Each structure stands twice: as C-alpha cells, then as structure tokens.
Structure 1
Amino acid sequence: MNSDRRPDAEIRSLATPLARVADLSPLVRRAGQSRFVCVGEASHGTHEYYRWRALLSRRLIQEEGFTWIGVEGDWPDCWRINRWVRGHADQELTAPQLLAGFERWPTWMWANHDVAEFLTWLRTYNLARPEPERVGFYGLDVYSLWDSLWQIMTWLETNAPDAVSTAMRAWQCFLPYGEDPQRYAWSTRLVPNSCESEIVSLLVQVRRQTRERMQWDEDAFDAAQNAEVAADAEHYYRTMVRGDRQSWNIRDHHMTDTVGRIAEHLGPNSKGLVWEHNTHVGDARATDMAQAGLVNVGQLLRERYPGEVMLIGFAGYRGTVLAAGSWAAPEQAFTVPDARPDTHEGLLHDTLHEPAVLLFGEERSGPWLSRRLGHRAIGVVYDPTRESGNYVPTRIGERYDALLWLEETTALQPLHHEPQPLEPELATEPTGF
C-alpha cells in the first residue's frame, strides 16, 4: 500500500494541534461560512467537550456573527436562560442560581460549571450590545409536556382569554395522570383513548392566536413553540412506551423543526449553533442508524439546508466521565477505559498521540475518512465493563465535516447532586441509542 493511502498518513495530513484557543482558527473560518453549525459531544458528562465547544462558540459569535444557540434541553428551561442572557429577566440571579431551575434528570447536562461559565460570558457579551445584536439561547427538545402546557395557559389567560377553554380541555385530559407524561402514555397502551385530539386543537388555536403577534412579541413566539412542544411530546411519549424506535425520529424531527422555527423567527441573516450529542449531530446516514430506519438532526439539517450546514464531532481516547449507573440514579464519575484498537478512537490515538483538530475537505474517499469503524458514544447511563455496546459503526468523513480529538478527558463538575426520584422513571432517549 502506498504510504499516502494509509489511514495514518491521511489522519496526519488532516490534523493540526489543539492546545490553545488560537488553534481553532482554521475551523472558525470554515464554520463561519455556514448558516448552521452543529457541535457535538461524545458524552454528556465530559468537561473537555463542553469547554472546547464553548470556546469555539465564543469565537463564532464574536468573529463570525452567530446570533443564537439551540441546545439539547427543554424549551421552558432554556427560555428562562434566553431571557437572562439577553438581560430581560432574573437579572438578580447568577448563572449557577438560574441553572438550579433545571429539574428533569439528568440535571448535570446543563447545571454544571462549564455551562455556567459560558452563560456568564454570554450575558456579559450581550449586555454590552444593543438589543437586536444580542445572542439567544433556546431549547430544542421535546420532553416538557407539562411545563409547556402551563406556559401556554399563562399566555392565553393574558393575551387570548377566549381561547383558554381550548387549553383547559387539553389540561383536564392530562390531569388524571398527575403531571406524569409517562403514566399518561402507559394508559394509552391499556385503553385506546388519548389526548391527541385535545392537544392538536390547542396547537391549532395557539397558532392562530400567535401568527401575527410573533413578528413583534417574543412572548407570543414562546407560546407558539410551547404548543409545538406539547403536541410533539404527546406523540413522542405514546410512541415511546410501545417500544417503537420511531420515537427517536419523532424527537429528532421535532428538534430540527425547532431549529427551523428559530431561524425563521430571527430572520434570514441569523446564524445558529446547535449543541447536541454526536448521535444527533453526526449524519445518521453514515452509521448503522440508517439501516434501522432512523434519522437525526445532522442528517435532516443537511437535507433541508444543503450547503448551509457544518457538522463538528468530538472523540476521546481515555479519562473519566460523569454519568449514572442506571436511569434516574445519582451521578458519579466513571473511568473511561482506553478505546478499543479496532475503532476510530484507537486509530487516532496510535497516529496522533495528542489533541488535534481534523478539518475535512471536499475529497473524503481516503482510507480513513471512508473506512467504517466503531466510534465511541457514551450515554447518560454508562457501564465501562460493557464497552462493546458503546461504539457506533461510522464512516467518519460522511458523518462530520470536522472532528475535535482529545487524548485524555475528565468528568464534568455538576453544580449540585441529582435528587433521588420519588418514584421510578422510564428511560427516554437523551443521548443516543
């Protein structure tokens, strides 16, 4: 084999060192040409992924004019952050105090020191600029059924009291399930009744009431998005309890649709950053997800906005990670073992031996970029003794446009410990599959 056709030779030709913020410059210049830049993470519990993502985002905001961030978090929680970082509400609170409002497990995804540090910076950045130039922070996820219903009710009572009766019918339909969407979903398995018609009627009503107002009223935009969340959450939970993997597609379609709504609301000159796990950011068509009929945010954005999207992944070799031993259990720091030799991580370690930025060009048919190997993905529930299940078969050059490689990583530092749940929770899908 010719030396320039070896995987290690190709890796070395693509890699530049990653030690300082200045080392991100080629990636910043390339990403600045895109309308949407999705920045992943190989776990939800690794300090270095959060830190480098924040540093990259800061430069893209300052130097390339990115105007909003959408994250793998609930809309109502992130809307409170959005109002805080833009100077609209809760200005007496610090970022850690604001993040204490995240209550859905796993809270460490957002209530951690790295996110608090970034949000503190973002608020300071925003307050030094006129209102139209301030950067927003939004939640893309689908889980907040009850919180979103409550926010809709509050908005309608003030702005469209004639429509409150529609909202009350939806609220009363869900009321017997004690604000537990999973209990509601289980009930639909036993009895073929659901709240689908009530929630769809509410969605239609809220769309009608907010359509014109959204152009000038941020609260109307919030209400409209909460209605979309409530409708999709009802569908998601009903599908999930049936063990149907299409719940994954419902969730990723919802997150992609939300990206589109934010971009439309902020106008054609807006530029968005998307923070999610690699399993959502990296194009699903380059993995075995495609064979299972699954899609994800990275794939859908590429399909909807051709030529306007950049996908950036993360990978690491060894270290520690914050995760839980079982669903809804308290968090703990686990040791992440050396990556398996027959994986992308193993090959990167053997070739580079130090952190690097790998920026891919137009030609991606080389022996590494086109090679199908395992690519590690760690979820919020983690068992280091079962490493074989953590690798997603991946063609890295099709999955991403760039990769940030880290040799050694450390666990996130949460702002507080997870509360013990009052009753068992069903596993949803916050990180992957």
Structure 2
Amino acid sequence: MIVRHPPLLDAIRDAAVPLDGDDRDYDPLLRMVGERPFVLLGEASHGTHEFYAMREEITRRLIGELGFDAVAVEADWPDAYRLNRHVRGVGDASIDEAFGDFRRFPTWMWRNHAVRGFIQWLRARNAGLPAAARAGFYGLDLYSLYRSADAVIDYLEAVDPDQAMLARRLYVALDHVREPQTYGFEAATGLRPPCRDAAAALLVELLRKAPAYLAEDGPAARDEQFFAERNAHVVLHAEQYYRAMFGGRSNTWNLRDAHMVDTLFALRRHLRAQGRQGRIVVWAHNSHLGDARATQMGERGEWNVGQLLREQAGAAQALLVGFTTYTGHVTAAHDWDAPAERRWVRPAHKDSCEHLLYTSGLDRFFLPLSGTLAEGLTAPLLERAIGVVYRPETELASHYFSASLSRQFDALFHLDETSAVEPLDITEHWTRHEPPDTYPSGL
C-alpha cells in the first residue's frame, strides 16, 4: 500500500504549501507562471464548487496582475461567445440572457453560480477599461455543429448576402435532421452525402474574403469576423467528429482535443494581432489539460490539450495545473442526459494519488511537482476522473485511470473534501442530498 512509503509522504509535506483561504494561497503558483502565455487550470470533476471557485480566484489575479487577455473554457464556441460579448460590453444582453445559449446537457457545467460570479466580476472590471484592453471569455469545444453553421450564415447575411446564399447551398447536406449524431450516422453509412467538402470550401471562401469584409466594416468588425471564422472551423471539425463516431477509423477524442488546441492558437494570434499579449487561461477537465503521455490515455494512442501544447508551443510555454479531491459531494448525473444530482463522492481508492495526498494529513494544499518530489511521484498511480456522469457502483472501472502525476502536471491543488457546485437551475433531483453511507452516525 502507498502508506508504506513514508519518505514520499515526508517529501510531500515538505513541498506542500497549505491553503489558508486568502489571496496569498496562489502566490507560489503565480511565481511559477513567469512569462508563459498559457496557464491550464484543470478539475477532477465537472461539478465541484471548489474547483470553479479556486480557478476564478487564480484567474482574477492572472488577468489583473499578469495581464492575461482571455479565458478559454471547455464549452461550445457560440455559447461562450455570447458571454464574451457580455463581459466585453458588446450589446445590451443581461447576464441571464448571456447564459441563455447553454441548453445542451450538461447545463450546470457552465450555468452555475460560481461561473456567474466570475462573469459579473469580469464585466465590471472590463467596464473601466478601453475596449482594446478588455479580457474575453471563449469556448474551445466543437459540439455546436448546427448552431455554428447558423452563426456563419447570420454573419454573412450582414456583410455579404450573396455569400450567405452560397453558404446555405453548401451547408444543405446538414439540413433535415438538425441532430449532429443523426447526421454523423447517416453520412458515415452512406444515407446522405457528407458535408465535408462543402464545409471546407466555405471556410476557404470566408478566409479569402476576410480582408474585404474588414476593409468595408472597419477595425471594430475584427472580433465578429473572427467569431464567424472560428464557427466555420467548428462546422468543418464537428462534421468530421460526428462522422467519425460511426466511421470506426478516427479517434474522436483526438479530433476534439486537436480542435481545442487549434482554437487556442487561433485565439492567441487574434489577440496578438490586436496588440495584446495573447496570454490565455484555460479551464477544462484534468483529462484534457494534464499531459496524456503520462497517463493510460497515452498508452491507448490518445493525446490531449496539455500534451499538444507542450509539443507544439514548447513545454516552457504552458503551465499545467491539476486539481484533486479525496471525498465530498459533486453535481453529476447518473446517466447521460439525466437530471443533475448532488452526489456523494466515495473516498478515494487506497492505490490512488488522491489517497496518497490524503494520507499526508495536510487537508488542503498547493504542490509544485519538481525536484526530488517529482522523482518520487513518477511511478504510475491510479487517478480519479469524474465527468458529468458519476457511477460509484462501478467506480474503479468507470472513473480511474493510471497516471504518472509529476509527468502529467507541473503542479496541483489537493483538497481532502469538496462540495457540489450549485446550478443556476435547481431541480428537485439536485435538492435531494445524497448522504455518505455512514449517515447519520458519521462513523
């Protein structure tokens, strides 16, 4: 058992920085950031309040003290861009209206009170700055096949009606179903012609005509042109993704994470072209942001955002930070597309990194993964990952994978006990609190 290695526990205790609940908790992390343009802040689940709250506090300091320009999150591009317009003071949408496009399961992942508080803070901070200095909020994901196609057409309607008509014709293969997985199945099995070539052709035309659109509409149109351009990329990559779900040749995980990295680099170029530093904070699951080469994922031939950034930008350009918990509660569903519940997170497996960190006796701490400690944490351990579905009855098979912690992350935050993030949309399923097995004795 892991507890038989007291020297490793001593090394953890020596390197750990206890969290006292104030801003100084994050000073060691900010010192590690240096000049890096990318800071990746993970999460061991999509439904833990503390992970959202801590990422918010860290990001406030990265924006306010180190000049970071943007937050990029594991959310669909058009959904998050509505929040981006809100925080940058574009349009008159209320904050509730700005959250209105997050309708796809799991809604609580971004429609929660922790994110709402951050959006309020970012809008208030931006309000006192010139437009060119305002930080933005962007999505990285590719599930929005139809909404992104609609957004491309809407943009072209305003700047080039003739091209909008062409877009409708090129996207015609997407018509009739309006359900991405149905499209993917029918295109992969030959029941409908694929939209691949048409989507690529439209993107090429949009890029070719971009200078003319900008010359006609002026510098203020750059953000909207970029929004449309990235939506056209989403259509191209999402079409491939949904076909691949039924084609059996491509790894859909790899397609998705490659798209996220492509979006990050495009966003950095866009920001730098406007005279910004192009420094971006990324919020996503640990499984996307830790280096996949250090995990069981890599053994299966899967890559992820953390790995691709280290490879393509350079290891010194991205700081990879994980978040772990030993037990507590989480907002998650029991099945896909099921209601959100406030569920008890079982204590971590005895052979996991979470259990090892728990046995340090430090409760809550920041841990830089360097020096002799990094050497001690090179050996693979189990690591828990809870997405939007939590199935404790099959937890070992459903939620654990093997990982070398010090090769996966540059640093991590560990919390012994955490709580469930509160959705904006409270239902009776979430109100019913799942108690630990020992309730009410607490033994």
Q: TM-score normalised to the size of structure 2?
A: 0.89
Amino acid at match of 2:364: P
Whether the aligned pair in 2 keeps the contact of 1:339 and 1:346 (CA below 8 Å) is: yes
CA 1:287 to 1:211, structure 2 compared with 1: closer, same or farther past 3 Å? farther
Amino acid at match of 1:405: H
* Partner residue in 2 for 1:225: 230
Whether the aligned pair in 2 keeps the contact of 1:5 and 1:366 (CA below 8 Å) is: no
Compare 262-271 and 190-199 and name the one that shifted more.
Answer: 190-199
* Partner residue in 1 for 2:30: 28
1:115 paired with 2:119, answer: no
* Partner residue in 1 for 2:435: none
Mapping for residues 53-202 of structure 1, pairs under 5 Å: 53-91=55-93, 93-94=94-95, 96-177=96-177, 179-191=178-190, 193-202=193-202
CA 1:5 to 1:352, structure 2 compared with 1: closer, same or farther past 3 Å? closer
**Cα deviation, residue 29, structure 1:** 1.9
* Partner residue in 2 for 1:350: 359
* Partner residue in 1 for 2:267: 262
Instruction: Report how many aligned residue pairs link the two structures.
Output: 414
* Partner residue in 1 for 2:323: 314
Whether the aligned pair in 1 keeps the contact of 2:41 and 2:321 (CA below 8 Å) is: yes
In structure 2, C-alpha distance between the alignment counterparts of 1:32 and 1:213, rounded to whole Å = 38
Whether the aligned pair in 1 keeps the contact of 2:370 and 2:406 (CA below 8 Å) is: no
1:303 paired with 2:282, answer: no
Whether the aligned pair in 1 keeps the contact of 2:80 and 2:137 (CA below 8 Å) is: yes
* Partner residue in 2 for 1:39: 41
**Cα deviation, residue 160, structure 1:** 2.0
The answer for unaligned runs of 5 or more in structure 2 is: 430-443
**Cα deviation, residue 250, structure 1:** 0.5
Whether the aligned pair in 2 keeps the contact of 1:249 and 1:294 (CA below 8 Å) is: yes
**Cα deviation, residue 372, structure 1:** 0.6
**Cα deviation, residue 9, structure 1:** 1.7
In structure 1, C-alpha distance between the alignment counterparts of 2:372 and 2:278, rounded to whole Å = 29
Partner-residue secondary structure (3-state), 2:414: strand
Partner-residue secondary structure (3-state), 1:316: strand
Compare 237-246 and 20-29 and name the one that shifted more.
Answer: 237-246
In structure 2, C-alpha distance between the alignment counterparts of 1:361 and 1:210, rounded to whole Å = 46
1:403 paired with 2:412, answer: yes
Amino acid at match of 2:310: R
Whether the aligned pair in 1 keeps the contact of 2:171 and 2:195 (CA below 8 Å) is: no
In structure 1, C-alpha distance between the alignment counterparts of 2:339 and 2:140, rounded to whole Å = 25
Amino acid at match of 1:142: L
In structure 2, C-alpha distance between the alignment counterparts of 1:330 and 1:58, rounded to whole Å = 31
Whether the aligned pair in 1 keeps the contact of 2:320 and 2:411 (CA below 8 Å) is: yes
**Cα deviation, residue 16, structure 1:** 0.7
Whether the aligned pair in 1 keeps the contact of 2:159 and 2:213 (CA below 8 Å) is: no
Mapping for residues 236-385 of structure 1, pairs under 5 Å: 236-242=241-247, 246-267=251-272, 269-306=277-314, 307-361=316-370, 365-367=374-376, 369-385=377-393
Percent identical pairs in the alignment equals 40
CA 1:384 to 1:398, structure 2 compared with 1: closer, same or farther past 3 Å? same
Whether the aligned pair in 2 keeps the contact of 1:360 and 1:401 (CA below 8 Å) is: yes
The answer for unaligned runs of 5 or more in structure 1 is: 421-433
In structure 2, C-alpha distance between the alignment counterparts of 1:386 and 1:24, rounded to whole Å = 35
Whether the aligned pair in 1 keeps the contact of 2:365 and 2:415 (CA below 8 Å) is: yes
Q: C-alpha deviations, 1:258-306, integer Å up to 9, x for none?
A: 0000000000622100110000000000001111111000000111111
Q: C-alpha deviations, 1:121-175, integer Å up to 9, x for none?
A: 0111111111121101111100111111111111112212232233112332111
Q: C-alpha deviations, 1:79-115, integer Å up to 9, x for none?
A: 1111100111235x13x44223311111100000000
Amino acid at match of 2:190: V
In structure 1, C-alpha distance between the alignment counterparts of 2:147 and 2:410, rounded to whole Å = 36
- Cα RMSD after superposing both structures: 2.1
Q: TM-score normalised to the size of structure 1?
A: 0.91
Partner-residue secondary structure (3-state), 1:392: strand
* Partner residue in 2 for 1:14: 15
Compare 116-125 and 245-254 and name the one that shifted more.
Answer: 245-254
Whether the aligned pair in 1 keeps the contact of 2:45 and 2:285 (CA below 8 Å) is: yes
Equivalent of 1:234, from 229, 232, 239? Answer: 239
**Cα deviation, residue 204, structure 1:** 1.2
In structure 1, C-alpha distance between the alignment counterparts of 2:303 and 2:313, rounded to whole Å = 15
In structure 1, C-alpha distance between the alignment counterparts of 2:371 and 2:11, rounded to whole Å = 14
Whether the aligned pair in 2 keeps the contact of 1:105 and 1:418 (CA below 8 Å) is: no
Partner-residue secondary structure (3-state), 2:175: helix
In structure 1, C-alpha distance between the alignment counterparts of 2:8 and 2:232, rounded to whole Å = 49
Whether the aligned pair in 1 keeps the contact of 2:363 and 2:415 (CA below 8 Å) is: yes
**Cα deviation, residue 364, structure 1:** 5.9
Partner-residue secondary structure (3-state), 2:143: coil
In structure 2, C-alpha distance between the alignment counterparts of 1:288 and 1:218, rounded to whole Å = 39
In structure 2, C-alpha distance between the alignment counterparts of 1:305 and 1:101, rounded to whole Å = 32
Amino acid at match of 1:134: R
